[in-house]
Structure 1
Amino acid sequence: MDYTAGVVARERSGHTAVLEGGFLYVWGGYLSIADDEVFLPNDEIWLYDIESGVWETHVMRGEVPPPMSGMCGSSLDGEMYIFGGCDDDGHTNQLYHVNLLDGEYTWRKVMNSSGAPPTPRDKLSCWVYKNRLIYFGGYGHKRLIQLDSTKTFVVDEALWVEEVFWGWNNEVHVFNPSTASWSEPHTHGLAPAPRAAHAGATLGSRGYVCGGRVMEARMSDVHCLDLESWTWTEIIPMSPIPMGRSWHTLTAISDSTLFLFGGLSVDCAPLSDGWIFDVQTKLWRELAYPHKNKPRLWHTASLGKDSDVIVFGGSRDYILWVDKGHCNEALVFQTQPYSLIRLCEDCIGRNPRVLLDRLLWLPRRIRQAILKRISFFKPTEKSQAISHAT
């Protein structure tokens, strides 16, 4: 298999990233070269070892999707699915998937599915529940005959051509991979306002939506969809609450808590604040962490080991103004207290010269785990550490 190790993934925004088997898999997105927006290569996938901090890249084959950004990525049973997004031909509603665990990295396009797929869109979200992919919201276009009176679509009056209308939606669409079928369940209760560039997460049998943009408004509201009864509920948090935002992330970090990070404020300022929301007590709590000087928007966030949240890429500037602030750092956010084993591994990783001569006393599995932590904290000393301890 073709691959390259010892390199670092390129800066990017609007990409997709999922975590499987200790690796963060990154695909797509775009960056700026001079005054042009350039999509990243579509025939490569980047792997980030969250234990060692080492990157490698692999060549992808098969029915490779076009280069794009703004697609919705999700992981189910070792497969990465991407839906929607924007490519050189505009918005799309195609669905692709690739096995991340067989080492082949061969794309397959979903063809001949039954039911009606969502209309073309980007900046949407996805919940994964009972082996189904459940998509919500996004920005895209519909034709006049596709519009209805149910208030599920808000027209962007600044952008429409003849009978093609652009705008935001609050639709719920379900894809079942086992039957290759699309469906649109009838929901109950008061649905969130149509939106895009919002954030979503799954907790148990419920899907959560936070914030996002419609028209010129950026919101901070929280809504919950029961994925069994298809009933919407708005959660009214107790103060304080985060400011309204878009292009942020929401990550489930326990059975009852969600972690919100970054985004773009109502004043178009990049944000670096992080908050934990308890869905049972309805309380927001701002989290203290060492990345306060690293704002991000249109990044990705994935749940790692020990409830860590791994944030990758995104922009540190308002991309519609500057468009030169794309990042390629992997930021780690500790959201829960670490176990004693994790604390010991990290302590040794930070102090390799003091304890390196004792690593040979450890069982091989533990020794390899510690070598990865040494690599993570001291990348420049990795080769020396391995040569002394293996």
Structure 2
Amino acid sequence: MRANYIILILLLISNIPIVNATGETHPSERFGHKMLYDPINDRVLLFGGVLYDNSRETRYNDLWSYDFESEIWLEITSGSRPSPRNSFAWVYLEGHNQILLYGGDTNQGKSSETWIYDLTENRWFCVDSELEQRPPRLSEITIAYDSINDKVILFGGMGENSPGSRDQTYNELWVFSFEPLSWTRRSPDNNPLPQYGAQMVYDEASSSVLMYPGHWNEVDDPTHHGYGDDIWEYQYQSDSWVMYEASSKPVGRYWANVNSVGAGKIILFGGNRATSMDDTWVYDYPSNTWSQIHTQNTPPDRMCSSMAYDPTNDQLVMFGGFQEGMVFLDDTWIFDFETENWLELGEATDMSDSESEQSIPGYSYCSIFLGSLSYIIVKKLESKKYTVSCNKDIHFSQNRVPENSWKL
């Protein structure tokens, strides 16, 4: 209790949130991370990812926020959180003020955990103890939140097989419901082929769940494989898929960035088809047409990066990924729809002439010191109170979602 008072006093004096006290100005090089827009706090969030270095895998479970107005990345601290992972699924739950995370590649293998991040409380909750069944252990999954039906739609992915055998590609479709908390497998007659590296979005204008496909293989012959290039729509009420073929479209690929940007449009950047790519396309759902955008500035080719759309500023922010030859990236790019151009941000925000290069704009050295000290104290407390295992009790609510937290 005394420690809590100390932290409160330090925070009041320093007037600085417990963020970014590690000295990092932006997330490190990585791929397989995920980003989304947080409308509650008007920011973009980034979680997780992995880096390969001399055949060594370093996975992350850090959480970062990007603010468009200040053009600054800040690391967010919290208590218990999912273990380090990459290639997971996560999606914002409109009306719930929460984010759902599922699966991914971890240091212990592929995961089947379901986590909820509460944006208001800045807390993670593992809900596995509430679930009677769940999808298999998966990574490279695609996911969307259907706000009209208040359901999370999860499709495809890469699962684990027995040691020494090839990982299995899935085309299962699962639905997450909130009252009660549950995963339910559905079986549409016309499922897309098993695949991984696809991207799914929810288009508010048409109330449609749309999927840009990934790397597929035949059900009966996994050695026969390819890359999808047609948009698929999943219709929850009829439990059916509809495929839309367009006459002119991007070449098929996987591990691309795809985001809904309003007005029935989705944007696509990069991905992989034998090599990493750097093209920008916009799909118009009402007319079922693709248009390539030839920008003055173009980000380097990449795959397994992530981006998120900020409707308030009508901009996209993209971070990281990797290129052919295992070249890992830690750059941040902004796409402005008014100018239809990409702009790269520097590794750190420029300081004004009156600010020291070693200070944080708007904060004194004293506030930085006190904020950093608060960060250290919090980390010490977290190490004693919290665990990152989804199968064990955690400090808050004994591994349960707070009552009424799922209600609109």
| TM-score category (smaller protein) | 0.7 to 0.9
2-side partners of 1:302 and 1:100: how far apart? Answer: 17
2-side partners of 1:296 and 1:378: how far apart? Answer: 21
Matched pairs, number: 320
* Partner-residue secondary structure (3-state), 1:379: coil
Displacement, 1:161? 4.3
The aligned amino acid for 1:36 is R
Q: Is 1:289 aligned with 2:295?
A: yes
Give the conservation status (yes or no) of the 8 Å contact 1:194–1:214: yes
Are residues 383 and 96 of structure 1, via their aligned partners in 2, closer, same or farther at CA, if it must alter by over 3 Å?
farther
The aligned amino acid for 2:69 is E
Displacement, 1:115? 4.0
Are residues 308 and 228 of structure 1, via their aligned partners in 2, closer, same or farther at CA, if it must alter by over 3 Å?
farther
Higher relative contact order (CA 8 A, sep 6+): 2
Displacement, 1:182? 1.2
Q: How does 1:114-129 map to 2 (within 5 A)?
A: 114-129=131-146
* 2:69 equivalent among 33, 51, 55: 51
Displacement, 1:165? 7.1
Displacement, 1:376? 9.0
Q: Is 1:314 aligned with 2:321?
A: yes
1-side partners of 2:233 and 2:132: how far apart? Answer: 25
Are residues 34 and 232 of structure 1, via their aligned partners in 2, closer, same or farther at CA, if it must alter by over 3 Å?
same
* 2:226 equivalent among 217, 222, 235: 217
Q: How does 1:30-49 map to 2 (within 5 A)?
A: 30-40=50-60, 42=61, 44-49=62-67
Structure-2-length-normalised TM-score? 0.72
The aligned amino acid for 2:255 is W
Q: How does 1:26-175 map to 2 (within 5 A)?
A: 26-40=46-60, 42=61, 44-62=62-80, 64-76=81-93, 77-102=96-121, 105-130=122-147, 131-141=150-160, 160-161=162-163, 166-175=167-176
2-side partners of 1:246 and 1:8: how far apart? Answer: 26
Q: Is 1:246 aligned with 2:254?
A: yes
Q: Is 1:4 aligned with 2:20?
A: yes
Displacement, 1:301? 1.7
Displacement, 1:167? 1.4
Q: Is 1:269 aligned with 2:275?
A: yes
1-side partners of 2:279 and 2:102: how far apart? Answer: 29
Give the conservation status (yes or no) of the 8 Å contact 2:198–2:255: yes
Q: Structure 1, unaligned stretches of length 5 or more?
A: 143-159, 339-349, 351-374
2-side partners of 1:183 and 1:231: how far apart? Answer: 15
| Cα deviations by residue, 1:100-155 (Å, 9 ceiling, x for unpaired) | 233xx32211132344211111011111013322111111036xxxxxxxxxxxxx
Structure-1-length-normalised TM-score? 0.75
2-side partners of 1:67 and 1:295: how far apart? Answer: 26
Give the conservation status (yes or no) of the 8 Å contact 2:26–2:347: no
The aligned amino acid for 1:51 is E
Give the conservation status (yes or no) of the 8 Å contact 1:70–1:123: yes
Q: Is 1:327 aligned with 2:326?
A: no
CA RMSD of aligned residues (A): 2.7
The residue aligned with 1:23 is 43
The residue aligned with 1:200 is 200
Are residues 378 and 314 of structure 1, via their aligned partners in 2, closer, same or farther at CA, if it must alter by over 3 Å?
closer
Are residues 328 and 100 of structure 1, via their aligned partners in 2, closer, same or farther at CA, if it must alter by over 3 Å?
farther
2-side partners of 1:209 and 1:122: how far apart? Answer: 17
The aligned amino acid for 1:192 is P
The residue aligned with 1:303 is 309
The aligned amino acid for 2:102 is F
2-side partners of 1:293 and 1:25: how far apart? Answer: 20
Are residues 380 and 75 of structure 1, via their aligned partners in 2, closer, same or farther at CA, if it must alter by over 3 Å?
same
The residue aligned with 1:184 is 185
* Partner-residue secondary structure (3-state), 1:4: coil
Displacement, 1:327? 1.6
2-side partners of 1:85 and 1:206: how far apart? Answer: 25
2-side partners of 1:291 and 1:172: how far apart? Answer: 38
Q: Is 1:229 aligned with 2:238?
A: yes
1-side partners of 2:329 and 2:34: how far apart? Answer: 14
2-side partners of 1:87 and 1:114: how far apart? Answer: 21
Q: Structure 2, unaligned stretches of length 5 or more?
A: 1-16, 218-224, 356-360, 363-408
* Partner-residue secondary structure (3-state), 1:201: strand
Give the conservation status (yes or no) of the 8 Å contact 1:202–1:252: yes
